[in-house]
């Protein structure tokens, strides 16, 4: 089982025949497109770390299916220790890219579909689990990149899938044939689709009677006939087309989301892992959501580390690093990032073994982790902007810096402390800008809010996972309303 190198991964993308659109135009050479390439580099980092002696143990493991060595992003979690390794790997990758490296969605989907299909088969005598194992072996053998596809476009949020005025608002089966099914619909906000070989479709919410066509899980190659990808815009994305490497900030890395259209895509039965079992859709949704909410306990503190480092550097460049209020604010940033990470580790250590044999992270703690992520990165950004100063949004451009006449003024007047050149100060500011306003900002602001589910989704899960009667019983006993516990008994 060969582990692809970063270079081999990037070359493998060239062989895909994607139907991909950006700014209203079809993109033929998307691998070298300057808007898209940083997002490819981020995924490529997941391949690179697997070959590093320092990170090999974090980034690879033995396949639960074959025993061969596989990239962790394609692996089933065999223990709580492996859940912990996942989170630590994600922190490392967040630190190295400063952006969303996209491959976690597939890893989390693989584990959720694996355990859910096992339990569906137990109840209905279906053969989804065996099919899934075969498909996963194919993915592991090719070290393919898989994108998990959950979020439907949803239409009227007050109506169930089958009650929508347009029946295509949730991905559905439109035809069942002897050799497979035909699938139609769209998935929104899809992370990393154009950088993946395969997408793993899952339902987006609990399905009820009448929604059978929507209780669907299957694997589709990203370049299958009928798949159309529309690349999502990011703030300041056109800075990447200006030719320089300063104004983009995080020039090398970025994230990626697409609107993925499935126009009557044929899927053979051996790639279908749920088809009509409404009562199991919520199990798949909750298990995937839990894994991905755990994931944020890795990537978000990792990206936070970069932002903290950039902010501390700016304090030095400005000559204020010893000021008590600056040190207090940077200390607060560290506290926020580590709190997120602590929750990611906690839900991993408190994981449990599923009937299928892989491990699931703790549902309550993973939801607490992600709920913190809907708040803390915003505070991290606020503190970074506070310390960086207003120049963050008023800097002249790289072209001004390089200008034969203007350049010397910028070098002179945009200097802070004497021994740091203005260009270094500007580069640090644009890095912070890219993480708080620019092209890598999605993974640190709105993506932190809505990725892996919006805040209310976690609140519902937190409430559902809490035994309130037990908590009330504790209080009633200590208050003397119920019988007090006798400590000597």
Query: Which of the residues are catalytic?
Result: 100, 104, 191, 257, 292, 296, 299, 447
Choose, by CB under 6 A, the member of 10, 186, 299, 363 that binds ligand SF4. Answer: 299
Query: Which residues from 161-220 bind ligand SF4, rule CB under 6 A?
Result: 191
299: partner contacted, choices ligand SF4, Fe ion, none (Cβ within 5-8 A by kind): ligand SF4
Q: Which residue is nearest to Fe ion (CB)?
A: 451
CB nearer ligand SF4, residue 295 or residue 354: 295
**Residue 489: exposure state from Cβ atoms within 10 A (0-12, 13-18, ≥19):** exposed
CB neighbour list of residue 473: distance below 8 Å, 6 or more residues apart: 482
CA 273 to chain centre: 23
CB nearer Fe ion, residue 106 or residue 451: 451
What would the x/- binding string for ligand SF4 be over residues 436 to 455, using CB under 6 A?
-------x---x---x----
Cβ(184)–Cβ(262) below 8 Å? yes
* Distance in angstroms (rounded) separating the CA atoms of residues 139 and 184: 24
Closest CA to 343 of 253, 256, 452: 452
* Distance in angstroms (rounded) separating the CA atoms of residues 340 and 142: 34
Q: Where does this chain touch ligand SF4 (CB under 6 A) — which range of 15-23, 50-58, 102-110, 469-477?
A: 102-110
Asked if residue 295 binds ligand SF4 (CB under 6 A), the reply is: yes
CB nearer ligand SF4, residue 198 or residue 447: 447
Shortest approach of Fe ion to residue 174 CB, angstroms? Answer: 29
- Coil vs helix vs strand at 357: coil
How wide is the angle at C-alpha 352 spanned by C-alphas 348 and 353, nearest 5°? Answer: 130
40: partner contacted, choices Fe ion, ligand SF4, none (Cβ within 5-8 A by kind): none
What would the x/- binding string for Fe ion be over residues 86 to 125, using CB under 5 A?
----------------------------------------
CB nearer ligand SF4, residue 294 or residue 354: 294
- Residue entry with tokens 């390794």: 85
Instruction: Give φ, ψ of 274 to 5 degrees.
Output: -165, 135
* Distance in angstroms (rounded) separating the CA atoms of residues 455 and 458: 5
Contact residues toward Fe ion (CB under 5 A) are 451
Contact residues toward ligand SF4 (CB under 6 A) are 100-102, 104-105, 191, 295-296, 299, 443, 447, 451
């Amino acid at each position: 089982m060969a582990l692809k190198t970063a270079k081999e991964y990037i070359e493998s993308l060239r062989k895909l025949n994607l139907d991909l659109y950006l700014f209203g135009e079809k993109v033929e050479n998307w691998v070298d497109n300057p808007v898209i390439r940083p997002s490819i580099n981020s995924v490529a980092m997941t391949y690179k770390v697997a070959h590093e002696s320092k990170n090999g143990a974090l980034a690879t493991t033995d396949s639960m299916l074959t025993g061969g060595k596989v990239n962790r992003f394609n692996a089933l979690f065999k223990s709580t220790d492996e859940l912990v390794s996942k989170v630590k790997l994600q922190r490392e990758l967040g630190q190295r890219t400063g952006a969303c490296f996209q491959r976690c969605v597939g890893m989390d989907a693989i584990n959720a579909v694996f355990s859910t299909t096992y339990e569906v088969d137990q109840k209905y005598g279906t053969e989804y689990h065996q099919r899934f194992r075969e498909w996963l072996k194919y993915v592991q053998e090719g070290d393919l990149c898989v994108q998990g596809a959950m979020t439907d476009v949803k239409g009227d949020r007050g109506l169930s899938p089958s009650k929508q005025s347009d029946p295509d608002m949730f991905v559905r089966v439109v035809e069942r044939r002897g050799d497979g099914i035909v699938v139609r619909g769209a998935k929104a906000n899809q992370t990393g689709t154009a950088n993946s070989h395969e997408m793993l479709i899952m339902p987006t919410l609990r399905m009820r009677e009448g929604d059978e066509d929507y209780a669907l899980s299957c694997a589709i190659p990203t370049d299958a006939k009928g798949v159309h990808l529309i690349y999502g815009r990011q703030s300041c994305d056109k800075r990447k087309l200006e030719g320089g490497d300063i104004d983009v900030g995080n020039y090398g890395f970025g994230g990626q989301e697409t609107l993925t259209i499935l126009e009557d895509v044929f899927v053979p039965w051996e790639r279908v892992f749920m088809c009509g079992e409404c009562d199991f859709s919520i199990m798949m949704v909750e298990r995937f959501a839990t894994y991905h909410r755990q994931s944020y306990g890795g990537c978000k503190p990792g990206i936070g580390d970069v932002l903290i480092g950039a902010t501390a550097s700016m304090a030095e460049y400005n000559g204020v690093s010893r000021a008590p209020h600056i040190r207090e604010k940077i200390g607060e940033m560290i506290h926020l990032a580590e709190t997120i990470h602590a929750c990611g580790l906690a839900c991993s250590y408190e994981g449990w073994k599923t009937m299928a044999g892989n491990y699931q992270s703790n549902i309550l703690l993973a939801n607490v982790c992600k709920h913190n992520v809907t708040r803390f990165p915003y505070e991290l950004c606020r503190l970074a902007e506070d310390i960086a100063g207003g120049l963050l949004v008023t800097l002249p451009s790289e072209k001004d810096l390089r200008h034969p006449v203007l350049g010397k003024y910028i070098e002179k007047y945009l200097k802070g402390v004497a021994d740091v050149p203005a260009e270094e100060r500007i580069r640090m500011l644009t890095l912070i800008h890219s993480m708080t306003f620019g092209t890598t900002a999605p993974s640190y602001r709105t993506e932190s809010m809505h990725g892996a589910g919006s805040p209310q989704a976690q609140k519902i899960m937190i409430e559902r996972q809490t035994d309130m009667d037990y908590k009330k019983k504790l209080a009633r006993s200590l208050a003397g309303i119920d019988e007090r516990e006798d400590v000597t008994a």
